Amino acid sequence: MNEFCCVKKKNNRERGQHGITLIALVVTLIVLLILAGTSIAMLTGENGIISQAQNAKNNSVKAEIEEKIKIAVTASRTNEEVKIDLEELDKELRNEGFTNIEKKRTK
């Protein structure tokens, strides 16, 4: 009978070591909240990943438009001269996808 008492006490000690304490849970939760807060700030901030991607997209679109204009200007030059045929430039710009072209003549 004496052996049974010792075994029972030993099992009680082992049970206390098998759980997660409330303090460990709270610390883990706080760490996760800090990580979530910094992740959201990095995504949506003024210099966040989303705004940087939008800026890169805008810069890419601008560069594409500039390149199309340069191609149209080069194609509209007549006889390897510096002069540009405006009718040919208009046609080339329309071929490159520019549809709202307003013609203004300078004196």
Is 57 exposed, middle or buried, given 0-12, 13-18 or 19+ CB atoms closer than 10 A?
Answer: exposed
Question: Does residue 94 have a pLDDT over 60?
Answer: yes
Give percent of the chain with pLDDT exceeding 70.
Answer: 72
User: For the packed helices 86-95 and 49-76, what is the interaxial angle rounded to 10 degrees?
Assistant: 140
Question: Does residue 93 have a pLDDT over 90?
Answer: no
Q: What is the pLDDT of residue 57?
A: 95
Mean pLDDT of 33-59: 91
Task: Please state whether the predicted TM-score (pTM) of the whole model is above 0.85.
Answer: no
Q: What is the pLDDT of residue 81?
A: 67
